Amino acid sequence: MFISKSMTRDVVTIGQDADISQAQEKMYKHHFRHLPVVDETNLLVGIVTDRDIRSAMPSSHLCEYSSQKEKDKFLRIKVKDIMTKDLITVSPLDTLQDALLLLQKKHFGAFPVVNEQEKLIGIISVHDLLCEFINVMGLEEPGTLLCIIVENKIGQMKKMVDAITEENISFGSVMVARYWEKGKRAIFPYLLTQNIGSLKRKLKKMGYTLLDPMDWYLDHLPKDD
């Protein structure tokens, strides 16, 4: 799925010559933590975050005991003085997987989306990706998540799906992940029912290992597979 389908298009922006207080006000009003900075042609020139603003504040954070001199100095700061100029952006033709990997690698909360002319056309955030993940996984419907350990060979998925459908249980989604034991995979079916007692017994009789999904730890995964 492409970023263009999930990004926020109606992006609130700010100019680089705006006062820092204006950026702070926009973030507070719209509950944002990232504010793209654009020029008059909508060319992306930077991004300012709530952390940038906090770092620029005097140590007293403009409380009632701050001196007028400190306040005046803060209010004279422009967005261009504190914004990040060395940007990491994504294309609308990048995939959600690309965005997820980039967010995990860079530890950012959002990335601006730009076209070939480097003009801002959207923003993709952790919130956007979570919403898309919930939608794809069908998590808005009540159900149960299972973790089934299977051998990593052809036919195992069909065998498991057949066993579940024979119980007249509908799927919300299925996710396949690596497992720390070589030659195995962890399958996570999200089932649209909470009555899975007989299914779990059936799967165990078929030789499958069932794990509590909460016991599946990413840090136990093999480095190479």
d(C-alpha 19, C-alpha 29), whole Å? 16
Local structure of 72: helix, strand or coil: helix
Q: What is the distance, to the nearest Å, from the Cα of residue 25 to the centroid of all Cα atoms in its chain?
A: 25
Per-residue model confidence (pLDDT) at position 82: 94
pLDDT by residue (tens digit) across 130-169?
888 888 777 778 899 999 998 888 888 899 899 999 999 9
**Phi-psi map region of 165: left, alpha, beta (phi>0 left; psi -120 to 50 alpha):** alpha
Compare 136 and 67 and report the one with higher pLDDT: 136
User: What is the average pLDDT score of the chain?
Assistant: 86
**Phi-psi map region of 169: left, alpha, beta (phi>0 left; psi -120 to 50 alpha):** beta
Q: How confident is the model at residue 95 (pLDDT cuts 50, 70, 90)?
A: very high
Per-residue model confidence (pLDDT) at position 54: 87
CATH class of 3-134: alpha beta
Q: Is 33:109 a contact under the CB 8 Å cutoff?
A: yes
**Average pLDDT in the 88-117 region?**
91
- Superfamily of structural domain 138-220: ACT domain (3.30.70.260)
**Average pLDDT in the 48-55 region?**
91
**Average pLDDT in the 76-95 region?**
93
d(C-alpha 12, C-alpha 148), whole Å? 44
The identity of residue 114, as a single letter, is V
All structural domains of the chain with their residue ranges: 3-134, 138-220
- List the single range of 62-76, 90-104, 195-209 with lowest mean pLDDT: 62-76
d(C-alpha 216, C-alpha 162), whole Å? 24
Tokens encoding 75: 């209010």
pLDDT by residue (tens digit) across 172-207?
888 888 777 788 888 999 999 999 999 999 999 999
Sign for the pseudo-dihedral over CA of 124, 121, 89, 97: positive
Tokens encoding 1: 């799925």
Q: What is the distance, to the nearest Å, from the Cα of residue 7 to the centroid of all Cα atoms in its chain?
A: 11
Helix (H) or strand (E) holding 29: helix 20-30
Closest CA to 136 of 91, 100, 161: 100
Quickly tell me which residue has 């919403």 as its tokens. Answer: 131
Q: Of all residues in the chain, what percent carry a pLDDT higher than 70? A: 89
Local structure of 147: helix, strand or coil: strand
